[in-house]
Amino acid sequence: MTKILIVEDDPTQRLVASSVMKSAGYEILEAVDGAAGLDLARLHQPDLVLCDVQMPGMSGFEFLEALRGEADLAQTPVIMVTALGQRAHVRIGMVAGADDYIGKPFSAFELKEAVAAQLSRRKLQQEHLAELEGQVESAQRELADGLEEKMNILAVKYEKQLADEINRRWSQDGNSDEVHEQAVVLKVNLFDFILSQPPGDGMRTRTIRRLHEKCRDALYLFGAKRLVPYGNDLLAVFNVDARTDLQKAKVKAVRAALVLRKTFFEVIGPYRFELVSRGVAMKHASVSIALGSGSLVLSQFTDPLHGDETSVLASGEAVQAVQVLQGWAQNAGWELLCLSGMTEGLGAMASMGRTSVIKPDGAAAPLEVQELLALKA
């Protein structure tokens, strides 16, 4: 039901206006002054306000100004009522934001007509506003659809340009395969033990850096030509070429492996001691090193999109062999091992330990492996 707020200090005038409005089917709210009227308006959100001009405390003009300052009530139609038939009051009321003006005394017909006109006007305004909002939403949707379509077109063009640029750059020099019919490969789980420990206060990171630097130097010192990261492991490649035959490459790899094992424990020892002294429960430090030989392919990828960053992927028989051996050695607790054929040509130079036969998944035949203990002078 349409709600009408009547703000009138005169009880008789308030009763007359209320009776007329009730007879027209409206719900009526009554206030005896401007302050009370403002409170009722905030609480009930009336559809129209009928307000006297001259009231004690807050006048009708002050009430109107306060009402227009409320965001939820600013558009509420207000009809000012006064017994003063002066044009000045009409002008003041209209400037203050009144929608209509009616003088006392008024007839029931006059009051009903004024109220009906303002309510009809407000309904038309609301319908027009709803229509405008619908048009705005429709225009926004069309704009959004148009922008999305244009963005999709631009995205397709950009993706094609990006793909063309990537293909162009990757087709440049810097991506190649280094093929070795024979090479000796060493694989070591250099970082497994230390990475299993908690990060702590930075000591672990410093130890990893020191371990990598010292083991890298040892491998290069004993003839490794290339170091290739392999997950948490490290691959060291010993070339077989015109200057270094297979036997010499094997000797270099064995010597490097023995020095690598020694270096590992020299670096890990102080780190482990420090953690144990702090009360950290630690397992025994261990390292597994596997040696193998066979074909090898080193695929190099240079990424010009990221500062010419280079990555190397190792594959081939030698890599497959050390992968199987190093995994088996880690589970069996062997520190340094190789296939039995690896020691051919070393003769009495190699001091060997245990032997075993393993059957890797997918292998055609069992493999005989040997434990390397030392290399004699």
pLDDT tens across 166-206, in order? 555 545 555 567 888 888 999 998 888 878 877 766 788 88
Q: Is the pTM of this model over 0.75?
A: no
At residue 14, the pLDDT reads: 92
Q: How many angstroms separate the CA atoms of 184 and 241, rounded?
A: 11
Sort 78 into a burial class: Cβ within 10 Å, 0-12 / 13-18 / 19+: buried
User: Mind listing the pLDDT tens digit for each residue in 131-180?
Assistant: 888 788 877 887 777 777 777 777 777 766 766 665 555 455 555 678 88
Domains of the chain: 3-126 (3.40.50.2300), 176-375 (3.30.70.1230)
pLDDT tier for residue 305 given thresholds of 50, 70 and 90: low
For residue 194, give both structure tokens: 């230390």
At residue 27, the pLDDT reads: 94
Percent of the chain with pLDDT over 70: 87
Q: What is the mean pLDDT of residues 47-59?
A: 91
Total residues found in the chain within this entry: 377
Helix 60-68 to helix 34-44 angle, to the nearest 10 degrees? 30
Q: What is the mean pLDDT of residues 235-244?
A: 86
Buried b (16+ CB within 10 A) or exposed e, 227-248: bbebeebbbbbbbbeeebeeee
At residue 168, the pLDDT reads: 57
With 60 as the cut, is the pLDDT of residue 13 above it? yes
Interior angle at CA 322, CA 321 and CA 324, nearest 5: 70
At residue 175, the pLDDT reads: 57
